[in-house]
Structure 1
Amino acid sequence: MEIKGIHHVSAITANAKENYHFYTEILGMRLVKKTVNQDDTSVYHLFYADEVGKPGTDLTFFEIPNAGTTYPGINSISGTSLRVPNDAALTYFQDRFNEYNVDQDEISKQGERKVIHFRDPEGQRLTLISDETNTGVAGGNVWERSSVPVDKGIIGLGPSKLTVQDPTPTITVLTEILTFKQVSSYPSPVSGQEDILIFSTGEGGTGAEIHLEVRNDLPKERPGRGSVHHVALRVANEEELAAWRDRLQEFRFPNSGLVERFYFRSLYFRDPNGILFEFATDGPGFTTDEDMDYLGESLALPPYFEDQREVIETKLKPLDTKKSH
């Protein structure tokens, strides 16, 4: 039983069309699955990733059209990182962000790594992180038809940042229930706040870290468009997933039980600070029901929703994701 790293991060958008434009045209990620929220089939669930949606590369969005503004605060997943191959890729994106008027900060250091903090059009808090000096979990492969050069593109998810007021319960969950170890820290960019703690699992590196920020100057976050719903952690298979369910029960943590998501199997629980974690299996993956060349171009529905396709499609705004081949 070992968590292999970050599996995916799921966030909220109020506008699927604009979201699709930003993440594919400006960031150069590939839409590998256009499906629906399985808990509310009236809204899209979009998956952006590397060329095939390799575990550890997926940034996903639920479209909630009436989602309000996010008011940042504690008890939140307050930042999502995206890995790029090297420092030169950061310079490329800095110029690209200037060209597209993306809200960004200057290139800076986060511990030993160079980063660019930036925001999408809805205020989603994002960071490009350089793998120049990285060892650990391998990244994915940029889609050859990406809108950015293959040698500069996003190769996966980096660390997720959690923000809490009382770190003790979250540290206990990470280190005593899960398989994370505290490996380092770096100064908070906010004056007067404690250092941000780095927790690592599995092979380590940018694809296997959670960063924990302590803030005593913020209220509880009010999520909306531009906020993160949950972070999912990689487990090898369904057998391990069941073992994690048993472990959570052993520690008396309420959990969802095993959930069928078709592209992977899941298990959900909240830590005492209210942060929603998911365990997700590495398989079976996104080519289960679509050819690799056509991923994300049509509305994909798991078999158990197929008989509802007509009703589901009438509730969704059309979203053109077809590519010329």
Structure 2
Amino acid sequence: MNLKPLKGQHHVSAITANAKKNYQFYTKILGLRLVKKSINQDDTSVYHLFYADERGNPGTDLTFFEIPHAGNTYKGTNSISLTALRVNTDESLAYWKNRFEEMGVEHDEISHHSGRATLSFRDFEGQRLMLVSDEKNQGVPGGKPWDKSPVPVEHGIVGLGPITLTVARGENTAMVLKDVLGFRETRAFSSDVDGQPDIRVFETGEGGTGGEVYLEERNDLPQERPGRGSVHHVAFRVEDEDELRKWVDWVTQNRLPNSGFVERYYFRSLYFREPNGILFELATDGPGFETDEDFDHLGENLSLPPYFEAQRDSIEAKLKPLDTKE
């Protein structure tokens, strides 16, 4: 089948138990813009919050489902275990380390990960995050930080970096990345854990930090039990709806059970699980978040796709108020 390569990361969706604290952390501390306040289209009783660059360009979105009664995450295999966020320079990491210290954010020391300067940290629920410098990066371009962010534009987060998959059986996931999704295996680097295999690096599209997946095989961990602070799924970029429909056929031909074509209004999607159970999504670059709100007012009000608009009153009645105009 004549498929165009996936263009890189589209978004990562994670779980929070507290939308208000989540909004405060990702906008006031990390300086991301809330570009859409919406609902989980599979469970309209909970928020779906989208944080990104100035307009939610594909490849910059970190999203959260609010599940108020979510329990603790018990870390382990068959999980998306680390989400990287890109900044432009090594110097920015020093800015962020100082900012984290001032704001009481749990963090590690600046180090290097696969040849790039990095700074690992956690949010208030233990979400595993890492800043990665693009100073030596070539590949998928980053986005543009919002100029009204509390973080100076030169140090702002410009998009999603490499996504780490931690699995029990690495070759099974590698097969799907390469043979089904068309990723290229480019290199490997040593695990931080003694006695564990090297971490394998796969890339797609133009490659670089915005098009890489790290595959970590671990034989010393149980399977992860997800909860607040865990990642629900990762999505990769497809150019448009026509291309996505080709991917639906291709994934089906490869005998991977899948959702088929799904209308998400802001983009179109396809979902399936790779053999270790991690949920993958393929999502189109458009139409985008300015479909129902103008640029200056993104994320200020509850946005519902048209097919939910008739239920607005009942949906709003179930949601805890969340002021995003502050």
Structure 2 letter corresponding to 1:35:
S
* Counterpart in the other structure of 2:269: 266
- Return the match for 1:87 from 82, 86, 90: 90
Of 289, 309, 312, the match for 1:309: 312
Could you tell me how far apart the structure 1 residues matched to 2:254 and 2:310 are? 40
| 1:254 has 2:257 as partner | yes
Once residues 301 and 182 of structure 2 are traced to their aligned partners in structure 1, the CA distance between those partners, rounded to angstroms, is: 38
Residue 5 (structure 1) aligned with residue 8 (structure 2): yes
Q: CA deviation at 1:152?
A: 0.3
Q: How does 1:84-123 map to 2 (within 5 A)?
A: 84-123=87-126
Query: Deviation of residue 214 (structure 1)?
Result: 0.9
How far residue 55 of structure 1 moved from its aligned partner, in angstroms, is 0.1
SS at match of 2:237: strand
Query: Which ranges in structure 2 are unaligned for 5 or more consecutive residues?
Result: none
> 1:15-94 maps to which residues of 2 (within 5 A)?
15-94=18-97
Q: Which runs of 5+ in 1 are unaligned?
A: none
For 2:203, give the aligned amino acid. Answer: S
Are positions 1:135 and 2:138 aligned together?
yes
**Does residue 294 of the first structure (1) align with residue 314 of the second (2)?**
no
Equivalent-residue separation in structure 2 for 1:273 and 1:249 (angstroms): 18
| Deviation for aligned residue 1:111 | 1.6
Per-residue CA deviations over 1:134-161 (Å, capped at 9, x if unaligned) read 0100000000000100000000000110
Q: Which residue of 2 aligns with 1:177?
A: 180
Which residue does the alignment assign to 2:225?
222
Task: Name the CA distance, whole Å, in 2 between partners of 1:160 and 1:89.
Answer: 20
SS in 1 for 2:229: coil
Q: Give the distance between the partners of 1:106 and 1:115, measured in 2 at CA.
A: 9
Q: Report the 3-state secondary structure (helix = DSSP H, G, I; strand = E; otherwise coil) of the residue aligned with 2:22.
A: helix
Tell me the TM-score normalized by structure 1. 0.99
Offset at 1:277? Answer: 0.1
Which aligned pairs between 1:232-251 and structure 2 lie closer than 5 A?
232-251=235-254
Equivalenced residues, count:
323
CA RMSD of aligned residues (A): 0.6
**Does residue 275 in structure 1 map to residue 278 in structure 2?**
yes
Q: Per-residue CA shift, 1:190-241, capped at 9, x if unaligned?
A: 1211111110000000000100011110000000000000000000001111
Cα shift readout 1:91-135 (whole Å, capped 9, x = no counterpart): 000000000111100000112100011100000000000000001
Distance 2:190 2:101 in 1: 27
Measured against aligned partners, the alpha-carbon deviations of 1:242-285 in whole angstroms (never above 9, x if no partner) come to 11111111111110000000000000000010010000000000
**Structure 2-normalised TM-score?**
0.98
Q: Give the distance between the partners of 1:213 and 1:105, measured in 2 at CA.
A: 20
Aligned residues with identical type, % of pairs: 66
Secondary structure of the residue that 1:265 maps to in structure 2? Answer: strand
2:322 is equivalent to residue 319 of structure 1: yes
1:104, 1:94 → 2: CA distance? 8
Q: Hey, what's the Cα distance between the residues in 1 that align with 2:109 and 2:118?
A: 8
CA distance in structure 1 between the partners assigned to 2:41 and 2:236 by the alignment: 19
Q: Which residue of 2 aligns with 1:210?
A: 213
Partner of 1:191: 194
Structure-2 residue corresponding to 1:285: 288
- Whole-Å Cα distance in 2 between the matches of residues 93 and 63 of structure 1? 26
Runs of 4+, deviation exceeding 6 Å: none
Q: Per-residue CA shift, 1:273-321, capped at 9, x if unaligned?
A: 0010000000000000001000000000000000100100010000000
* Equivalent residue number for residue 167 of structure 2: 164
The residue type equivalent to 1:38 in the other structure is Q
